[in-house]
Chains A and B, each alone.
Chain A
Amino acid sequence: MLGLNSRDFKLFVIVCIMALAAPIILNPFPTGSALGQSFNAGYPALLQRFVIFGILAIGFNILFGLTGYLSFGHAAFLGIGSYSAVWMFKLLSYNVLPAILLSVIMAGIFSVVIGYISLRRSGIYFSILTLAFAQMSYQLAYSVLTPLTNGETGLQVYNGDPQVLMSAGDPTIPHLFGITMNGQSQLDIAGWSFTFQNGYYLAAIFLIASFYLSIRIFRSPMGLMLRAIKSNQTRMSYVGLNTKPYMLAAFVISGMYAGLAGGLLAAMDPLTGAERMFWTASGEIVVMSILGGVGTLIGPVLGAGLIKYLENIVSKINDNVLHGWFSFMPDWMDNLFVTIIHPFIGKGWHLTLGLLFMAVVIFLPGGLVQGGQKIMGKFSRNKTSDAKDGADTPAE
């Protein structure tokens, strides 16, 4: 189906359903309840981040997962995508289509240049080169290129901007041919209320398309060549293959994915700043991939989702919320638990992430996907004795 084998097709359908039904699936608790307020993730601002960073991670995985080249500067392409998109808003109109197009193209151009230079080296040197380029981009955006990037303030649309394609009746917020990005409809059932936002669905469609393309790349001769590069570059050149252009192609594709993610970020919220290119942002992409499962198709999306979930959910929990949870205990015990948990919540969510990351790297080097497979393996082994086959095949 659709040029996919049956296993990939199943995975693709699951991702489609997850993406389209996320506003429902991620609201498991009634909206008004205490659990719902703490743990529900089905609100547009967070859902957008899930899919946009999912796209970013899918693209990153085409480079890191297939070829093993660890780029530590992918946030640069994200930032370039965002700046390009906002410039399109400023110059043309609030229509997101040209904005997203330009962000992909600009990220592509920059990744050709950065990739061409960085790919002269491999291993740690490649990582350092990409990191250096990303930091350079950050510094340029932050200070030197202020006319282009509006420096510290960040780039945004002002009333005086040309917006030459803007006609009188057009919305003054990002839209797709009149459909505004933050337009939404609400569905209330019993205690639950689900929000379906236009912007989210635009991003989700891009996620589905990106995911589909990534499966096709993984299964194509190109994907085979990239895996071969990861496995043995010496043999690669002695069978007569030039590894450089293959690597560059992977780098550019992955950069364009990042550009798309950057463009979508700007489409959801038409302003951007240099901090989007900072090295911690690049590091976050690496952590996403590793958490989810490097080189697997679905892993990076899961990793991106998990990090964005923790970032938004754990950081929202504060001492008052905790006291609420532990209120059934005696006071001294309540206070004790809150004191222990305090460093891991709110601003300390990075600590939780760090511990989780360590646990995954140590116990599940294959990431969440490997964890999932282990669980699935346990279940199927109980059912049938020959299910071992399925559990042992490489994670996809």
Chain B
Amino acid sequence: MSILEVKGVNKRFGGLQALGDVNLSVHENTVHAIIGPNGAGKSTLLNVLVGKLIPDSGSVTFDGQSVLGRKPYEIAQMGISRVFQTPEIFADLSVMDNVLIPCFAKRDGAFKMHGIESVSSEKQLIEQAEQMLAEVKMLDKRNMIASSMSRGDKRRLEMAMCLVQEPRLLLLDEPTAGMARADTENTIQLLKDIRTQRGITMAIIEHDMNVVFSLADRITVLAQGTPLVEDTPDKIKNHPKVREAYLGEAQV
């Protein structure tokens, strides 16, 4: 069953057609990769999905409900989490606090006027956060300030912040961009583990073919704002149109 439906989405920036008639459906419990050369409209598409950009026409529905015109926090509350190209974490706060905040958001909704009970009295949430940190093997770093960690750890922390909310769809924007080889391997492994343990639906935007082919169940190739083909990784590898799109980029 498809959980995310993109139908006929167009987006123009002045003279540039960033997205032209994009149709896409992400099925539940699959990893769907969106690839394409630079400027293919991958990031624009992602920003449409999370409510940061409003398309000129078309529809985007998540679990049967339209996401268009909703604010990012409303879309997040619907069950879509996003991992950014450069990890977006609460850099000045401790690792524990970083994971606790999404726990509060999950339990209390977008806003709650809290009383003056101390955070440490929220035993249940703290336990939940600890479990999550244990799962990503960061429990020993719980009191560290997030900004002092390595890039790979920040990525894992961001992932933990998303997962602790048990999202129904996880959007990943080039999760391995700018990472060292070892960190990339770790991230792939982490995503694979998440996949097998939690069965979360994921949509990945990625440049690194290695990452894409080792994770994805389905791949959509985007070129100049329109989907070129959508198929399984094996078929995509040898697809003439895909080769053309990428070779075309190489010639420039």
| Cross-chain contact of B165 among A222, A223, A239, A243 (Cβ < 8 A) | A239
CB contacts (< 8 Å) of A217 on chain B: these are 116
Contact of A219 with B by CB under 8 A: yes
CB-nearest residue of chain A to B125: A221
Contact of A237 among B76, B93, B115 (CB under 8 A): B76
* Closest chain A residue, CB of each to CB of B97: A224
| B56 contact set on A, CB distance < 8 A | none
State whether the Cβ of B7 lies closer than 8 Å to any Cβ in chain A. no
Nearest CB to that of A232 among chain B residues? B90
Residues of B within 8 A of A316 (CB): none
Instruction: Please tell me if A133 contacts chain B, counting CB pairs below 8 Å.
Output: no
The answer to the question of A245 belonging to the interface, with a C-beta cut-off of 8 Å to chain B, is yes
B73 touches A216 (CB 8 A): no
Q: Give the distance in Å from the alpha carbon of A249 to the alpha carbon of B114 in the complex.
A: 10
Give the distance in Å from the alpha carbon of A19 to the alpha carbon of B226 in the complex. 69
Q: Does A228 count as interface, using CB distance less than 8 angstroms? A: yes
Q: Does B105 sit within 8 A of A, measured CB to CB?
A: yes
CB within 8 Å of B: which A216-253 residues:
216-217, 219-225, 227-228, 230-232, 234-243, 245-246, 249
**How far is A225 from B73 in the complex, measured between Cα atoms in Å?**
14
Q: Are A245 and B90 in contact (CB under 8 A)?
A: no
The interface residues of chain B lying within 8 Å CB-to-CB of A245 are 111, 113
The docked-state distance in angstroms from the alpha carbon of A220 to that of B115 is 7
- Bound form: Cα–Cα A235–B105 in Å: 12
* Distance to closest chain B CB from A1 (angstroms): 12
Give B175 Cβ to nearest chain A Cβ, in Å: 15
Give the shortest distance, in Å, between B111 (CB) and chain A (any CB). 4
Question: Taking the complex as formed, is B41 at the interface, i.e. its CB lies under 8 A from any CB of chain A?
Answer: no
User: At the interface, yes or no: A159 with Cβ under 8 Å from chain B?
Assistant: no
Name the contact of B76 in the complex, choosing from A222, A225, A240 (C-beta under 8 A): A240
Does B114 lie within 8 Å of A221, measured CB to CB? yes
Instruction: Give complex CA distance A220, B100 in Å.
Output: 12
Residue in B76, B81, B105 with the greatest tally of chain A CB atoms within 10 Å: B105
Contact A228–B93 (Cβ < 8 Å): yes
B132 is an interface residue with CB less than 8 A from chain A: no
Contact A238–B82 (Cβ < 8 Å): yes
Contact A224 B165 (CB under 8 A): no
In the bound complex, what is the Cα–Cα distance between A36 and B112 (angstroms)?
52
* CB 8 Å contact bits of B86-97 with A (1 = contact, 0 = none): 001111110001
CA distance A32 to B230 in the complex (A): 92
The smallest beta-carbon distance between B86 and chain A, in angstroms, is 11
> What is the distance, in angstroms, from A383's C-beta to the closest C-beta of chain B?
24
* In contact, B105 and A240 (Cβ under 8 angstroms): yes
**When chains A and B are docked, how far (Å) is the Cα of A3 from the Cα of B114?**
15
Residue of A whose beta carbon sits closest to that of B82: A238
- Say if the beta carbon of A358 comes within 8 Å of chain B: no
Annotate B118-144 by CB proximity to A: 1 below 8 A, 0 otherwise.
Answer: 111010000000000000000000000
Residues of B within 8 Å of A236, CB to CB, are 73, 101
Is there a chain B Cβ closer than 8 Å to A375's Cβ? no
A236 to B91, CA, bound (A): 12
CB-based nearest A residue for B51? A237
Docked complex Cα distance between A217 and B113 (Å): 12
Closest CB in chain A relative to B146 CB, distance in Å: 9
The reply to whether the CB of A124 lies closer than 8 angstroms to some CB of chain B is no
Binding site for A on B (CB under 8 A): 50, 71-74, 76-77, 81-82, 84, 88-93, 97, 100-102, 104-106, 109-120, 122, 161, 165
List 24 A-B residue pairs with CB atoms under 8 Å apart, sorted by A's residue number: A3-B116, A216-B118, A219-B118, A219-B119, A219-B120, A220-B116, A221-B117, A221-B122, A225-B101, A225-B104, A227-B90, A235-B90, A235-B161, A238-B73, A238-B76, A239-B81, A240-B77, A240-B105, A240-B110, A240-B165, A242-B111, A245-B113, A246-B111, A249-B113
6 A-B pairs closest in CB distance = A240-B76, A216-B116, A242-B110, A231-B90, A221-B114, A240-B77
Residues of chain A touching chain B, judged by Cβ–Cβ distance below 8 Å, are 3, 5, 213, 216-217, 219-225, 227-228, 230-232, 234-243, 245-246, 249
